[in-house]
Amino acid sequence: MINNNIEDTMNSIPSDQKIVMLDHDDLYSSMLKNNEPSTNFVSYVNKLVEYCSKNNIILLRTIGVIFSDEENPVLYYVLKQLQSSTLLEKIVVATTILDEDDAIDDYAKFMGVDVFRGDANDVLDRYFECAKKFLFSTIVRITSDNPLIDPTIVDEMIKKFTSNSYDYLSNTRVRTFPYGTEVEIFTFKALEKAWKNAIKPSEREHVTSYLYNISNNFSISNVEYSRNISNLRWTIDQKNDLTLVKSIVSKIKKRPILMNDILDLFSKESKLFEINKNQLKNEGYLKSLKEDEEHLKSKKEIKKS
């Protein structure tokens, strides 16, 4: 079935050079929704890899939203950037229990970083169990689609969090920072409350949406940049994002790469803005909100019956 779907899709694309982007999380979630056995997952992935290889199709794979290129995996850049933080006490990669994520486990350990493996779809549960295992009282959340996370922004936000009594702090609730610089900090107590009470699919998948829901009475705050530059993005969601990040990494030689370094590069090479300027923002979260609507609708139908 999967081979037929791939072939039909590929034949409909007129371009000679074809690119397939495989999101492991989306594939696994779709299988569960369709009541397919999870044992089919590896088989599907292997068939896709084999098909692309035989037909000279470029395959970009995301593993827990981690892209790989022919040089270093994006996880390398995420960890190297964070290892330049002066205030992070411990870095842990929280990935899934899927066999496909063994590579993440191995690579993180190669980088000298601890790994926790948990639920593939209930990311909130994965975070909670990880924090519980490592006895974290405060959690700094950095997602792996942000390879150029700025460690100085991380440190400034840690300072603000520790000098106040917040449950949750971010630089995303009022958007002024570029996409790709997101930092969220929250207490274990707040995480535990969310873990016990969150029921919407989006709340289980996106970890912190329960925390910043004003009706849940958490003490939250937001950090804003001196001006609004949220039109810029160097996060990785799509191929054009990856193209931009690889260009930034090749053009900026200093490490770590800071936000100001990228802004300076953009001021000198404004055409870089064009690479991914039309990318849809928050695509994954918007998808989850639609799933929330379906979840609530199904609950109402069950009550009626």
Report d(CA 263, CA 251) in Å as an integer. 12
Joined together, the tokens standing for residue 195 give 């873990």
DSSP state of 233: B
Query: Is 286 part of a structural domain of the chain?
Result: no
CA 9: distance to chain centroid?
26
Residue 89 in any domain: the answer is: yes
CATH number at residue 141: 3.90.550.10
283 belongs to a structural domain:
no
Is 266 part of a structural domain of the chain?
yes
C-alpha torsion 40→144→91→262, nearest 10? 160
Q: Is residue 109 part of a domain?
A: yes
Q: Are residues 92 and 57 in the same domain?
A: no
**Do residue 10 and residue 136 come from a single domain?**
no
- Examine the pLDDT at 284 and tell me if it is beyond 50: no
Share the mean pLDDT of the chain. Answer: 84
Q: Do 154 and 201 fall within a single domain? A: yes
| 135 and 260 belong to one structural domain | no
Give the domain range for residue 202.
74-231
In-domain check, residue 68: no
User: What token pair was written down for 212?
Assistant: 């910043």
Kindly give, in sequence order, each residue whose CB lies less than 8 Å from that of residue 73, ignoring residues fewer than 6 positions away.
66, 67, 107
Judge if 8 and 128 occupy the same domain: no
Q: Which helix (H) or strand (E) holds 70?
A: none
Average pLDDT rounded to a whole number, residues 211-231: 93
The pLDDT tens digits of the residues spanning 235-253 come to 998 889 988 999 999 999 9
Same domain, 58 and 91: no
Residue 168: inside a domain, yes or no? yes
* Total domains in the fold of the chain: 3
Residues 127 and 222 in one domain: yes
Q: 77-132, pLDDT tens digit by residue?
A: 999 999 999 999 999 999 999 888 888 898 899 889 999 999 998 999 999 999 99
Tokens representing 266 are 């953009």
Predicted pLDDT at 301: 54
Q: Sign of the CA dihedral 251, 253, 256, 260? A: negative
> Do 224 and 247 belong together in one domain?
no
- Shared domain for 246 and 130, answered yes or no, is no
**pLDDT tens-digit series, residues 247-280:** 999 999 999 999 999 999 999 999 998 998 876 5
CB-based contact 167:214 (threshold 8 Å)? no
Closest to 180 in 3D by CA, of 234, 110, 224: 234
Together in a domain, 78 and 173: yes
Q: Residues 148-185: pLDDT tens digits?
A: 999 999 999 999 999 999 999 999 999 999 999 999 99
Q: Which of 22, 40, 62 is the last residue of a domain?
A: 62
Q: Would 291 be classed as within a structural domain? A: no
| Residue that finishes a domain, picked among 231, 261, 293 | 231
Answer yes or no: do 87 and 159 share one domain. Answer: yes
Retrieve residue 232's tokens: 């810029």
Mean pLDDT of 224-234: 96
- Considering the domain architecture, whether residues 180 and 101 belong to the same structural domain is answered as yes
**Better pLDDT: 39 or 124:** 124
| 45-86 pLDDT per residue, tens | 778 778 887 888 776 655 443 343 445 788 999 999 999 999
